[in-house]
Amino acid sequence: MFSPYHRFTNCNKLENIIETLKETGNVPDDVMKGYKKYHFALVHKIKSARHHLDSMIELMSNKPVDDVLKLSSNFMFLVNMYLDGFFYTCGSAMDILAREVLTYFAIPLPNNVYFNSAKQELLSNLPNDPLIGRLDDPSWRDEFSMYRNAVTHERIIAGFFNISVTIDGDTEDKALVLPLPDDPRVDVMDRTFKNNPNVSAYCKLHIKRLLKLINIIYGEIATRATANSNLPL
């Protein structure tokens, strides 16, 4: 489904377990409705994020550097468009995950649900549940959230880029490297670019981390659903 595949193997495992429990009548209708509503919405968001990332990488790798320099405004528009889509869909996946987790516990959803809502609701309803520790904010979330919030109001990639030159014998290859600003909220002319000098590398790493986080949580739910032979947990 995704590459690298080992980071999301529990997705199919969870789907198969729920379908098996459904056949034995061990999944209530409201849990099943929530699963169909949120689980497949999350998968859709991750696939969309991967599509935006692949499109951005293809755009940057297939256009000769000299052509980009001649058409820089349109190139920057496309890069920002794909990057906007990537950040929006990755962020949405995390928020949908909270809804999906609460569905498996049959906990009513609050009016506003974000990623940390799952942990808050579990602490209120089942304060000793072992899944709570899996729902801690990952160390990379603050930086990602900063970028996701920034694309709501402005372009993150605002025209600053580097040209990487690789020489192999008498062959010279040029490639564009676009950095992410350390703080996208400061004025464009005051931005620094030390933390994430390559936007493609950052996005590749982020989607791997996101898949790993969701995969761990899916694995916990699948294991417990199997042990209990029913949902909700």
Span 171-202, pLDDT tens digits: 656 667 889 999 998 888 899 999 999 999 99
Residue 200: closest CA among 166, 173, 176: 176
Contact between 119 and 136 under an 8 Å Cβ cutoff? The reply is: yes
CB 97 within 8 A of CB 119: no
> What average pLDDT does range 3-13 have in this prediction?
82
Interval 100-123: pLDDT, tens? 999 999 999 999 999 999 999 999
Work out the pLDDT band at 39, boundaries 50, 70, 90: very high
Please state, as a whole number, how many other Cβ atoms lie within 10 Å of the Cβ of residue 1. 12
106 dihedral zone (left: phi>0; alpha: psi -120 to 50; beta): left
- Identify the residue with better confidence: 67 or 79: 79
Residue given tokens 């959803």 in the structure block: 109
Work out the pLDDT band at 144, boundaries 50, 70, 90. very high
**Vertex 32, ends 30 and 36: CA angle to 5°?**
120
Q: Which amino acid is at 38?
A: Y
pLDDT score of 233 more than 70: yes
pTM for the model: 0.90
DSSP H or E run through 51: helix 29-62
Give burial (CB, 10 Å; 0-12/13-18/19+) of 17. Answer: buried
Phi, psi (5° rounding) for residue 176?
-85, 140
| Alpha carbons 203 and 207: distance in angstroms, whole number | 6
Mean pLDDT value across residues 150-154: 90
Question: Which pair of structure tokens corresponds to residue 20?
Answer: 């098996």
Residue bearing the bigger pLDDT, 181 or 59: 181
Residue 50's pLDDT is what?
96
Reported confidence tier of residue 1, pLDDT bands at 50, 70, 90: low
Q: HSE (CB half, 13 Å, CA atoms) of 192?
A: 3
